[in-house]
Amino acid sequence: MIIKATRLTLAAALLGASTFGAFADGFTLENPECIAPANPGGGWDFTCRQVGKSMQDLGLLDKTLQVVNLAGGGGGVAFAEVVNKRSDDDNLIVAASSATATRLAQGAFPGNTMDQVRWLASVGADYGVIAVAADSDIADLPALLEMIKTDSTSVSVAGGSAVGGWDHLKVLIAADAYGVEDVRTVKYIAFDGGGEAVTQLLAGSVQAFTGDLSEAKGFVDSGDIRVIAVLAPERLAGEFADFPTAREQGVDAIGANWRGFYAPGDMSDEAYDTWVSKIGALYASDEWKNIMTNNGLAPLDLQGPEFEAFVADNVAQIQKISKEIGILR
């Protein structure tokens, strides 16, 4: 899925300076908490922990942001927890991404819809990757996809989203672009988070990993995995410049995973405005820009109503893609 460049540069045009101004008067976050809807080591976990640390470093929070890992259902367990049990918690935010939008788009959170929560802000876009173990015989993306095309049972691909989720969709989009006739034959195995999926890759239980750059980076740095494709329009800069894109290998597949947060649906306006302002101030900081660069995050700066509209568009787009590749009827 392509996030258009105009979406990536909307912040200054759409938002007035007041977004980054004083926080809501009279409201104090007493026990700030972030739910990461997966086990430690994945993208949602990264989002909560990195944002919490940076906010505290910048003085935007005077208390530690407690991170709670609540895995299950591709984010569905966390979503249900917030909607059903913590709908008015002013101190709570939840890490979200294109994976969240995918599950909502496909009706995978039974009885739940995106309008049951409040969408706060984005903190960047994380390009998808397809990787193999460092010592794998699979040389590049076309080699992997040719194995799948020839005998889909010979290759298992692991990801940190549920079946039909965003990690799954990324490899299906690549397979479709390569010419795999029925992408539903791709053997995808779901785990509760990218970290667990990579662990299975290293154990030899699967042959490839589909995830996002931020969750793969640590395993690349440690020498455990090798990225065979970044699902970006062109090569990324800096330390990621050595990673080949799918497109340059003849596979026209692009997948950008936005990262951001939602909040309980009955959160007070004062708390909502405070969280939106704090996340906006974080995004505007030089510290966050450096973190984005170091972790391969692309710009995506949207807060409040603009972010909510973006997520709604994203859900509609994923529904269309899901129908095209047979996930939805």
Q: What is the pLDDT of residues 245-270, one digit of tens each?
A: 999 999 999 988 899 999 999 999 99
**Of 272, 257, 267, 258, whose CA–CA distance to 302 is shortest?**
258
| CA separation for the pair 135, 124 (Å, rounded) | 31
134-150: pLDDT as tens digits: 999 999 999 999 999 99
Predicted local confidence at residue 48, as pLDDT: 98
User: What is the pLDDT, as a whole number, of residue 327?
Assistant: 81
Whole-number percent of the chain with pLDDT over 70: 92
pTM: 0.78
Contact 148, 180 (CB under 8 A): yes
The architecture (CATH level 2) of 5-126+256-324 comes to: 3-Layer(aba) Sandwich (3.40)
- Kindly report, residue by residue over 33-68, the tens digit of the pLDDT: 999 999 998 899 999 999 999 999 999 999 999 999
Q: Would the CATH topology of 5-126+256-324 be identical to that of 127-249? A: yes
pLDDT given for residue 251 in this prediction: 97
Domain ranges of the chain: 5-126+256-324, 127-249
Q: CB burial class (10 A; 0-12, 13-18, 19+) of residue 285?
A: middle
Residues 211-241: pLDDT tens digits?
998 888 899 999 999 999 999 999 988 889 9
pLDDT tens by residue, 159-191: 998 888 889 999 999 999 999 999 889 999 999
pLDDT band at 306 (very low <50, low <70, confident <90, very high): very high
C-alpha 182, offset from chain centre: 26
Q: Which helix (H) or strand (E) holds 131?
A: strand 117-133
- What's the CA gap between 78 and 93, in Å, rounded? 11
Q: Quick one: pLDDT at residue 87?
A: 98
Alpha helices in the chain (DSSP H): 5-8, 11-14, 43-57, 76-85, 98-105, 141-150, 166-178, 194-202, 213-221, 269-284, 286-294, 304-324
CATH code for residues 127-249: 3.40.190.10
Q: Is the pLDDT of residue 17 over 50?
A: no
Mean pLDDT in residue range 5-21: 31
Question: Does the pLDDT value for residue 19 go beyond 50?
Answer: no
Tokens at 25, concatenated: 């008067």
